[in-house]
C-alpha cells in the first residue's frame, strides 16, 4: 500500500468508512490512541465478535486484534488494507479461526482459538505467549512448551519477566523468573532485583528453570492437588 493511500485512509478517517462498507450492520467505535498514526484506533463489532484496528504510528502498518466474547485471540499485523478489510469482514461474518487463517494466512490464531474454546486456561496462556512474540521471549517459550513439566505449569509475565504457577488460580510464586537479554540469550533468577551475570540459550534456560523449581520446592499441579486432597 502506497504512503499516500495509507495517509488518505487514516488521516481522512477513511478507515472507518471502508470498514463500515465492508461489514454492513456492524458497530464502529472510534477512539483516540496516542500510539496510532492519525491519533485514533477503530473497533468494528458485530454480536459477540470484534476487530480492533490500530494504524501504527511511524510505520505503514496496521495492528489487528480479533476478539470473541470479550477475549482477544490475536495480535497480528499487516501492511495491506485489503487484508484489514477482508479479514475483518470474514471474522464479523462468523468465520471460524481455521476458515479465517485459510483465507487470510497472516491472521492465523487457530491454536489460541482452540485453547480458548477448550476452556484450558493453562494451554491458552501458553498459546497466547507463543503467538505474541514480545519481550524477546519467543525462543524460550517454544523450548519451554516442549518440556512436559513446564508445559503443565501456568505461564505468566510480570513486567519483562516470565514465571510459572502450578495453576491459573495459585498465586504463590517463589520463582524462577526468566527474562530475555537479547540475541537469543536469557537470564534465570530467583530474585528479580538481582540481575544474574550468567546468560543461557533457550534450551539451557529451560533446564535452569527446572533445576530452580526443584531447588525452590515449586509444586507441580499434581502435587498441589494431592496436598489439597490431604487437607
At 182-206, the pLDDT tens digits run 889 999 998 888 778 899 999 999 9
How far apart are alpha carbons 39 and 31 in whole angstroms? 8
Percent of the chain with pLDDT over 70: 89
Find the length of the chain: 231
Q: Is pLDDT at 5 greater than 80 in this prediction?
A: no
How many whole angstroms separate alpha carbon 27 and alpha carbon 222?
46
b or e along 196-230 (b: 16 or more beta carbons within 10 Å of the residue's beta carbon)?
beebbebeebbebbbebbeeeebbebeebeeeeee
155-159 mean pLDDT? 90
**Mean model confidence pLDDT for the chain:** 88
Tell me what pLDDT residue 191 has.
84
- Report pLDDT for 230: 57
Does the structure show a pLDDT above 60 at 125? yes
pLDDT for res 60: 80
**Sequence-distant contacts of 74-83: CB under 8 A, at least 24 apart:** 74/107, 74/109, 74/112, 74/131, 75/131, 75/132, 76/106, 76/107, 76/108, 76/109, 77/106, 78/106, 79/1, 80/1, 81/1, 81/5, 81/6, 81/9, 81/18, 83/107
What is the model's pLDDT at position 220? 82
Binned at pLDDT 50, 70 and 90, residue 8 comes out as low
Is residue 214 predicted with pLDDT exceeding 50?
yes
Is the predicted pLDDT of residue 150 greater than 60, yes or no?
yes
Taking 80 as the threshold, does the pLDDT of residue 80 lie above it? yes
Model pLDDT, residue 113: 96
Give first-to-last CA distance, the chain, whole Å.
63
With a CB cutoff of 8 Å and minimum separation 6, the contacts of 89 are 22, 23
When pLDDT is averaged across residues 148-166 and rounded to a whole number, the result is 93
Residue 105: pLDDT over 90: yes
Give the pLDDT band (50/70/90) at residue 27: very high
Contact (CB, 8 A) for 186 and 140? yes
Kindly tell me if the per-residue pLDDT of 52 is higher than 90: yes
Q: Higher confidence at residue 148 or residue 193?
A: 148
Spatial neighbors of 106 by CB under 8 A, at least 6 apart, are 76, 77, 78, 83, 87
pLDDT at res. 146? 97
Q: Is the pLDDT of residue 53 over 80?
A: yes
pLDDT band for position 59 (cuts 50, 70, 90): confident
Maximum CA pair distance of the chain? 68
pLDDT value of position 12: 45
Amino acid at each position: 500500500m502506497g504512503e499516500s493511500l495509507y495517509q488518505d485512509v487514516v488521516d481522512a478517517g477513511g478507515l472507518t468508512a471502508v470498514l463500515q462498507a465492508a461489514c454492513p450492520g456492524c458497530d464502529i467505535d472510534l477512539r483516540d490512541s496516542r500510539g496510532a498514526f492519525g491519533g485514533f484506533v477503530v473497533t468494528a463489532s458485530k454480536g459477540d465478535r470484534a476487530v480492533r484496528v490500530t494504524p501504527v504510528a511511524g510505520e505503514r502498518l496496521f495492528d489487528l486484534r480479533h476478539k470473541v466474547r470479550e477475549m482477544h485471540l490475536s495480535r497480528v499485523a499487516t501492511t495491506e488494507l485489503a487484508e484489514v478489510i477482508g479479514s475483518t469482514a470474514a471474522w464479523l461474518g462468523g468465520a471460524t479461526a481455521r476458515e479465517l487463517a485459510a483465507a487470510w494466512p497472516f491472521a492465523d490464531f487457530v491454536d489460541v482459538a482452540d485453547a480458548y474454546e477448550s476452556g484450558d486456561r493453562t494451554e491458552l496462556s501458553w498459546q497466547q505467549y507463543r503467538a505474541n512474540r514480545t519481550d524477546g521471549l519467543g525462543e524460550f517459550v517454544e523450548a519451554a512448551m516442549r518440556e512436559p513439566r513446564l508445559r503443565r505449569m501456568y505461564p505468566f509475565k510480570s513486567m519483562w519477566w516470565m514465571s510459572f504457577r502450578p495453576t491459573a488460580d495459585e498465586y504463590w510464586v517463589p520463582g524462577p523468573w526468566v527474562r530475555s537479554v537479547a540475541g537469543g540469550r536469557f537470564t534465570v533468577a530467583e530474585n528479580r532485583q538481582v540481575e544474574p551475570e550468567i546468560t543461557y540459550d533457550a534450551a539451557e534456560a529451560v533446564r535452569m528453570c527446572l533445576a530452580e523449581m526443584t531447588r525452590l520446592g515449586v509444586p507441580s499441579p499434581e502435587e498441589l492437588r494431592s496436598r489439597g486432597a490431604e487437607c
